[in-house]
Amino acid sequence: MPELPEVETVRRGLESLIIGKIIKTTQHDTEKSFPNASADIEAFLYGATVIAIRRRAKVLLIELSTQYTLMVHLKMTGQMVYVGSDYRFGAGHPNDSLVNTLPDRSTRVTIEFTDGSQLFFNDQRKFGWMKLLPTIEIPNVDFMKKVGPEPLEADFTSQQFADRFTRRKRTTIKAALLDQSVVAGVGNIYADEALWGAKVHPQRLVQTVTDQEFESIYTDLRAVMTLSIEKGGSSNHTYVNAEGKRGSYMDFARVFRREGLACPRCGTTIEKLRVAGRGTHICPHCQVV
DNA sequence: CACTTGACCTGTCCGC
DNA sequence: TGCGGACAGGTCAAGT
């Protein structure tokens, strides 16, 4: 699921919903979803107040008053869904069809606040995880050390963007875009969307991409991600925001999951292929190898 | 090192 | 209707 715009949408939702709340208890079903939860929970999670919600790449950081942080990766099918204290156990979620009852069989972690409201970490495929770490240790996590710059930062330039790709010269531009150490937060949806916008075929080798084309990819990537955040992200399958609501970016997608439909720029039928092991969508007229 | 592939999981959809 | 296989928004460990 969740690429930068979706995680950012969840972040904003949580920011308005749980800042200042105090964690009373948590439950988790599998060790995998909340590894090493053990001892630190009692001391640093229960009784902690939520003081900030941050995001780095596709990672959510729920910062607590105890100098600990809950680090969350939603991977493909993760959800962070909040319900208020008036939520009746087992009732349908008030907002959306993608969330039925809470908790459900995909619920991995339940966080209950002292006011009776609850936050559910759901993850159908169990790829995602939540970890409790000292806040000061977050920058030392392997992923955080290697992850590239945030593409939507105001001071991130087109030139800096292009320079990040020098480490991946001999691979395809799509594989390089998906590499989190190049640029943070890009996933399958926005890689395809940005490459269509820039008229660059995803199988083009990085070393053949021109400065002008890098600038186009940079511009379009920032544009589609910004638009997607405005639209609350993309809901293909399981993604919902912190209120259980879907995002509507898919209504605005130009190529992603639009195979068989007309290219909005030239009318040619959009095709689907595999690049970098991922389903990839292109306009065969606008994007040539 | 750079690069590719398979593994991690569950659910759904498609063709036989 | 049932069943097998491919596939799904991400990342990591192993392999070349």
* Residue A158 pLDDT: 97
* Residue A206 pLDDT: 98
Q: Structural domain boundaries of chain A?
A: 4-146, 158-282
Give residue A159's pLDDT band: very low, low, confident or very high (50, 70, 90). Answer: very high
Contact, A124 CB vs strand B, < 7 Å? yes
Alpha helices in chain A, H assignment, sequence order: 4-18, 38-40, 142-146, 158-164, 173-178, 188-197, 211-230
SS3 assignment, position A169: coil
Q: Which amino acid is at A150?
A: E
Task: Flag the least confident range among A96-100, A186-190, A280-284.
Answer: A96-100
Model confidence pLDDT, tens digit, residues A101-114:
899 999 999 999 99
User: Percent of chain A, pLDDT > 90?
Assistant: 88
Contact, A276 CB vs strand B, < 7 Å? yes
Which residues have a Cβ under 8 Å from the Cβ of A183 and sit 6 or more positions away?
Answer: A148, A149, A151, A161, A164, A177, A221
* Residue A100 pLDDT: 64
Task: Flag the least confident range among A39-48, A209-218, A243-252.
Answer: A39-48
Q: How far apart are CA A22 and CA A6, in angstroms?
A: 25
Fold of A158-282: Helicase, Ruva Protein; domain 3 (1.10.8)
How far, in Å, is the CA of A187 from the C1' of nucleotide B10?
21
Q: How far apart are CA A36 and CA A42, in angstroms?
A: 12
Q: How far apart are CA A240 and CA A218, in angstroms?
A: 27
* Residue A37 pLDDT: 77
SS3 assignment, position A50: strand
Cβ–Cβ under 8 Å, residues A2 and A239: yes
Give residue A96's pLDDT band: very low, low, confident or very high (50, 70, 90). Answer: low
Please tell me the pTM assigned to this model: 0.96
Q: Is CATH 3.90.1150.10 what the domain over A4-146 is classified as, yes or no?
A: no
How far, in Å, is the CA of A234 from the C1' of nucleotide C16?
36
DSSP string, A52-85: EEEEETTEEEEEETTSEEEEEE-TTTEEEEEE-T
Residue A48 has pLDDT above 60, yes or no: yes
Contact, A125 CB vs strand B, < 7 Å? yes
Measured to protein CB atoms, the chain B nucleotides within 7 Å are: 1-6, 8-11
Q: Which amino acid is at A197?
A: G
- Over chain A, what is the mean pLDDT? 94
What single-letter DSSP state applies at residue A173? H
Q: What is the dihedral of CA A188, A194, A200, A205, to 10 degrees?
A: -50
Residue A165 has pLDDT above 90, yes or no: yes
- Mean pLDDT within A15-24: 98
Give residue A60's pLDDT band: very low, low, confident or very high (50, 70, 90). Answer: very high
* Residue A36 pLDDT: 78
Contact, A171 CB vs strand B, < 7 Å? yes
